[in-house]
Amino acid sequence: MSSLHFPVYILMLLLAFAVTIPLHKKPYGRKFQVLMLSVLGVSWVMALLELLKVLWDAPYSYTFGNYERGIGIEFLVDEFSALMTLVVLTLSVLIIIYALRDLEHEIESSRMYSYFTLVFLMIFSMIGMIFTNDMFNLYVFMEILSLTSVAIIAIKKKKDTLMASMKYLMMGAIASVTILMGIALIYMVTGALNMSEINLEISRVWALYPRNILLAMGFMLTGFGIKAAIFPLHNWLPDAHSSAPTPSSALLSGLVVKAYVFAIAKIMYRVIGENISVNIGITNYIIIFAVMSMIMGSVFALTQRDIKRRLAYSSVSQIGYIFLGLALASELGFSAALFHVISHAFMKSALFLSAGAIIYKTGIRDVKKLDGIGYEMPITMTVFSVGVLGMIGIPGTSGFMSKWYLGLAVLDAGHPELLAVILISSFLNALYYLPIIISAFLRERPGKPLVMHRDKLPRTMKVSMVIVALGSILIGLFPHLVMDIIQRAVPTFIGINLGL
């Protein structure tokens, strides 16, 4: 079996399993769980081998049916797309292992097959968005991801989840229309949908049709900005992520929004190109929105008492860091942004999974009622603390390295004022996260002395949380494991080099 075809094999395996899940006649149980994890395990192994192949050899393009570029659909398999696919599958496996028991308290058993069908379609579409080098193909995968994201929220069939999913659906529909209009405008002036073909034509086209390109970029950045939840286009996210089942929240915040961010990176630099994006001032506007997101997301998080809503608003703030790195249009900035994509995926997954464990065990969502919970659930709160320290940027965590790289990037770009914004945002993170840890470990709940107990959680939930937290620490202690791969991929974006 040639590893050259692994990206397609991964997608085919995930899609085939998703399609066959509704055909299961036997009640949901252990056999299905083993089969599901086996499919994910095989996909993970192929993703690992694909990453090793790209690192040992070189990035390559994969065209379906041996059609030439520009006629057939093309996948671009570079270092970061291979790494991001491995991260998506790694976290998906851990979140699904966590979900095996958590979902028993979240949704009806009759809906388990439906839920995992949606999850596999979601993973399929995310990986498709990561690999594709075709604009319309990107749109198709994006639509699958959007619809499945709405569905894994609405599946709880409660008033708050239905309202949240309806808001998400409406905002997502507006975003999809604007993105499609942007793609149509690009196709109108270039006659191409392949990203590399468009990039070759864009300089000539820009001189002839600057308004078309500018309007197309406005449409696409607005649409993807809604889907990625950049401030002030974020208002669907807090309701959606906080009311969804915990595994859904972890998938949405940890992975799904990153797929949209990666799509923006492709459009800005692989499609339109660095020079045009900078010259027309798009990057300056993105910096403004990134700064607003970093600050206002944290300000809104300060006012939330529901723990999952606080985490959701925190995601709005963290997305701002990624957009800031992308908008610097430099190798250092782009590297920092991609590093934070992976760093935040681990940190936020750890936070949502541990918050879900608290709700699973105690039913408490109010952060004012978590006094002494660190003694009742020490493993859970340790995982939560690792995520919190990463969000604040404490050394030894992946979040510290994200902010370190981003700080170096803004200084290198000649924007010391943006370093102040990063520090202010980190301070705000500390204001709304640290009180939770202090209450958990240093305050006594009335009637419950501070005596350490063992977490009374299913083993699958504890193991998943701990591994995700260890992943964040590993990236923090050995950042070069991720950054070395990212730096090899950056030339396919900045100073674009797609001679594959």
Binning pLDDT at 50, 70 and 90, where does residue 3 land?
low
Note the pLDDT of residue 97.
92
Phi and psi torsions of 43, nearest 5°: -60, -40
pLDDT, tens digit, for every residue of 28-39? 778 888 988 999
By percentage, how much of the chain surpasses pLDDT 90? 19
Confidence of residue 145 (pLDDT cuts 50, 70, 90): very high
pLDDT over 50 at 497, yes or no: no
Q: pTM score, two decimals?
A: 0.89
Residues 6+ apart with CB under 8 A from 119: 92, 96, 148, 152, 247, 251
Phi and psi at 198, nearest 5°, equal: -60, -45
**Where does the pLDDT of residue 499 fall: very low under 50, low under 70, confident under 90, or very high at 90 and above?**
very low
Residue 383 identity: V
Residues 387 and 380 sit within 8 Å (Cβ to Cβ): no
Long-range contacts of 439-444 (CB under 8 A, 24+ apart): 439/367, 439/368, 439/370, 439/371, 439/372, 439/373, 440/370, 440/371, 440/372, 440/373, 440/374, 440/381, 440/384, 441/374, 441/375, 441/381, 443/371, 443/372, 444/371, 444/372
Q: What is the pLDDT of residue 448?
A: 65
Domain residue extents for the chain? 3-492
Cα separation, 17 vs 32, in Å, equals 11
* Predicted confidence (pLDDT) at residue 256 exceeds the cutoff of 70: yes
